[in-house]
Amino acid sequence: MIQPIPMLTDNYCWLLSMPDRNDALLVDPSESDKAIQALEHAGRTLAGILITHHHADHVGGVQGIVDRLGPLPVVCSLYDHRHNRVPCATTEVGEGDIIEMAGMTFSICDVPGHTLGAIAYYNADANAAFTGDTLFLAGCGRLFEGTPAMMHASLQKLAALPPETLIYCGHEYTARNLRFAISIDPENIAIQNRIEKLPSDNIPTVPATLATELATNPFLRVETPSLRTFTHCDDPVGVFTALREARNRY
């Protein structure tokens, strides 16, 4: 089971559990009270916390959870752990590592760009990737620490996952991202159809399949002729850079 826990203004924390177990994991809890309430409502005990990157809106609830529930595994990237950027961190992981927690197995992908310590967690059994603020639905994160080349490489790594992979990102930005996407690629029928099918307010748009992202997310489509024309670039990193700058201004 993968349950969204809305937090702050537009954040998602994810509650992960197996049907035959009583324990669960949290991904990126920014508010301790909401996370603990969701655990109690689900009747689960917390086995650990998975962190995609160190920003406060992804780790802000960790200390409060540990204070109330006691010591437990808190997983983050090698970079964030060694730079003391995640509260209560106990376990550092990096590219290619495999972790098993609460009956679930995750492969780790280093995906720097938004931050230098960003990672994603991929669970093949659930066809699920938890991408934090690297890959959003119909968009990607801002480059606060990494370079365009770094972020482009991270997105290409995620784009290589199986197309049926469900993308669980850290924010509800889909509608605005799609409005940007159609503004720069107005003839894209897949984007038009996706906009028409957006749910009403307060209904999560997350997750979506990677196949949907490959058809509609401009940051995964930097070799598309229409986007090369829009950016006046042929180099994929140049196209990505121009798209990210345009999105920053949008």
Instruction: Please give the positions annotated as active site.
Output: 53, 55, 57-58, 114, 133, 171
Q: Indicate the Cα dihedral angle 208, 212, 213, 216, nearest 10°.
A: -130
How many CA atoms lie within 13 Å of 127's alpha carbon, on the beta-carbon side?
10
Name the DSSP letter for residue 90.
-
Phi-psi region of 70 (alpha: psi -120 to 50; beta: other; left: phi over 0): left
Nearest of 6, 35, 3, 37 to residue 19 by alpha carbon: 3
Lay out the sheet containing 104-110: strands in order across.
98-101, 104-110, 119-123, 128-132, 166-169, 208-209
d(CA 50, CA 204): 21
d(CA 36, CA 170): 18
Name the DSSP letter for residue 204.
-
What would the two tokens of residue 76 be? 């983050």
Q: Indicate the Cα dihedral angle 182, 213, 74, 17, nearest 10°.
A: 120
